A and B are shown apart, each in its own frame.
Chain A
């Protein structure tokens, strides 16, 4: 598995092939589905950078100034203009991008945003194991430390990659997922067990597979607060590819 990852990283710069497997979701869709099958897929090894997104905007000028319904007013607010990064680090991940804009970028590249399951599966790899990041104290403290950091994100690829060869899955930015709003957790995190299961699939905090996994709680809570035109200064993305 490690070998495949290395070959993929070497032969296809920019993205790697993630072997399929089984994923233990943080919010199981039903009590029976504690393990979900994951098909092999490709994924960018880093979040999309400011430079890469600038290149995209030059190819696709329609995304330089999208309507509010596709990207709210703070879209690319830290850029000097939609065609000028200004003082921003070109190698830092692009943030302040909406789901629509991120998705357009990925589709332009022949891919799409990763699903929550794909993203969480890929992010659960440690440097040496395909799963276990969610229980790994070093990963958890990296994530919790990140929450305490202020200021804009630094450049990508400053830390070691995980087993799949993916950089910065944790500790740099939040990342968009294709179905960020499909696993709704309740907007009041304490409700659980007495809601409409059809509308709120896997809803409340008490349904979580591991209540001590604060980092996952925060990711799911964060995603559920978003709308597709939302842009925030800590939210970027990377693309996934099904081949």
Chain B
């Protein structure tokens, strides 16, 4: 009463059309969510593993939908050479994607594999009722539980296990997404993908090889060893990157299983045209980074204009480069240079890593005087490397597994200094094998660097991290540069 009085006072003095708009745009919530009894024969829900999303239901009337989900405890890699015993809904992390329509009556079957060590259950955030189904689905190994619910609220919802100790079940990967389409369905798009972030806690440190047990203490302290998309580092890179064509509208269903961390979800090089914030029914527009709570989800949509690789990150950025929260979307098609010139450098990271330029000045002065020492080259190269190269190859030259190749002790690098010069000047895209590992990503041309800068960087790299120690001169760089054809207008 008081509030409405206050509001009416405000509306008299200031026009706030948003208040009116907010009033008129309502779904009616769960009270208006029951669309009647199921019509027709029961249908079996199509379930998909990430990053795939089931097709739209295409239904215009409420149906009875049968969902069968199997819990399986299973050893899988969480990173290269690192195994973890995941507890899964459907054999993978995240759990299988479930797609239904508002008003559907869902007959849910939860099966716990006979080899499981633990009992499990499921809490679907799409359920209206105590526990979200958890109390009705508590299932011993080798058993199956059944319960039924009517989906009253449209939206994208997390489901997860809620068996004691809840945190541990979630930390082991027991989460997934269920989409409840609004009665009219979602607007059509060209591509839909399923991405879910989770944080993991292992006894061994990041990248320590072997089967790594769960570390309860780190989990309680919220000190994640890994933060990954779709259950493992590298699950969305290289050949497994998401795919789109120039001109597509892409919809990502992005969930965050937690157990602890909130995601600052960002796609490097894209602006979300629409974000259904927190998975709600009304879209916010033109968003750079969206927050996804643990146990929450969102839908983002964007139209892709420029070909190339777009990097999905948790923009709490150490998680992306030091804990694994990094994925890729590769967009193919013709370049639209008026929209984007083609470089792939994010200046924010360069600013953080910009180092003292004094050593570069020293090396340039020596070069101008006729003779540059290897030591001066290395010092200058070190600063330049920190500013330009370390963004991807990392300050220690280790690269990012499966994404950016290592320079440290690199067989590819040491085999051929001339090729290394060419890679810096011309970039390198497509498959390459470094120290036995396959990489398939894009390094942009760095031909904007001048000859002595390239020479200094490479001399520094060759002098570092057990590399072969070659000294690269500006003359060598100039020779490679002059032997390269470039399109008109490109930096020479």
Q: Give the B-binding residues of A (Cβ under 8 A).
A: 72, 74, 140-141, 144-145, 147-150, 174, 185-191, 205, 212, 214, 217-218, 220-222, 224-227, 230-234
Are A188 and B85 in contact (CB-based, < 8 A)? no
Are B214 and A147 in contact (CB-based, < 8 A)? yes
> Which residues in A have their C-beta under 8 angstroms from that of B137?
187
Q: Give the A-binding residues of B (Cβ under 8 A).
A: 73-75, 84-85, 114-119, 121, 123, 130-131, 134-143, 162-166, 168, 203, 211, 213-214, 216, 220
> Which residues in B have their C-beta under 8 angstroms from that of A234?
115, 117, 141
Which of B85, B140, B163, B166 contacts A147, CB < 8 Å? B85
> In the complex the two chains form, what is the Cα distance from A224 to B123 in whole Å?
18
Are A150 and B166 in contact (CB-based, < 8 A)? no
- Distance in Å from the Cβ of B216 to the closest Cβ of chain A? 5
Are B135 and A232 in contact (CB-based, < 8 A)? no
Closest B residue by C-beta to A205: B164
Closest B residue by C-beta to A222: B119
- Distance in Å from the Cβ of A207 to the closest Cβ of chain B? 11
Are B213 and A148 in contact (CB-based, < 8 A)? yes
A-B contact pairs, 22 of them (CB 8 A): A72-B142, A74-B114, A141-B213, A144-B214, A147-B118, A148-B75, A188-B130, A188-B162, A189-B163, A189-B165, A205-B166, A214-B168, A214-B216, A221-B118, A221-B164, A222-B140, A225-B138, A225-B143, A232-B114, A232-B140, A233-B115, A233-B141
Assuming the contacts A174-B117, A218-B118, A233-B114, asked whether A189 and B216 have C-beta atoms less than 8 A apart, the reply is no
What does DSSP make chain A's interface, helix, strand, loop or mixed? loop
Are A231 and B164 in contact (CB-based, < 8 A)? no
Are B118 and A189 in contact (CB-based, < 8 A)? no
Are A150 and B143 in contact (CB-based, < 8 A)? no
Which of A188, A205, A222, A230 contacts B118, CB < 8 Å? A222
> In the complex the two chains form, what is the Cα distance from A203 to B74 in whole Å?
30
> Which residues in A have their C-beta under 8 angstroms from that of B214?
144, 147-148
Which of A145, A148, A186, A225 contacts B140, CB < 8 Å? A225
20 more A-B residue pairs beyond the given contacts A225-B139, A226-B140, with a C-beta to C-beta distance below 8 A: A72-B142, A74-B142, A144-B214, A147-B85, A147-B118, A147-B213, A148-B214, A150-B74, A150-B75, A188-B138, A189-B162, A190-B134, A205-B164, A212-B216, A224-B138, A225-B143, A225-B163, A232-B114, A232-B116, A233-B114
Assuming the contacts A148-B213, A150-B73, asked whether A189 and B117 have C-beta atoms less than 8 A apart, the reply is no
Are A148 and B211 in contact (CB-based, < 8 A)? yes
- Distance in Å from the Cβ of A25 to the closest Cβ of chain B? 15
Assuming the contacts A147-B85, A188-B162, A217-B164, asked whether A212 and B119 have C-beta atoms less than 8 A apart, the reply is no
Are B216 and A140 in contact (CB-based, < 8 A)? yes
Closest B residue by C-beta to A145: B213
- Distance in Å from the Cβ of B170 to the closest Cβ of chain A? 11
Closest A residue by C-beta to B75: A150
Are A230 and B140 in contact (CB-based, < 8 A)? yes
Most buried by A among B85, B134, B137, B216: B216
Are B165 and A205 in contact (CB-based, < 8 A)? yes
CB-based closest 3 A-B pairs: A225-B119, A187-B138, A189-B164
> Which residues in B have their C-beta under 8 angstroms from that of A174?
117
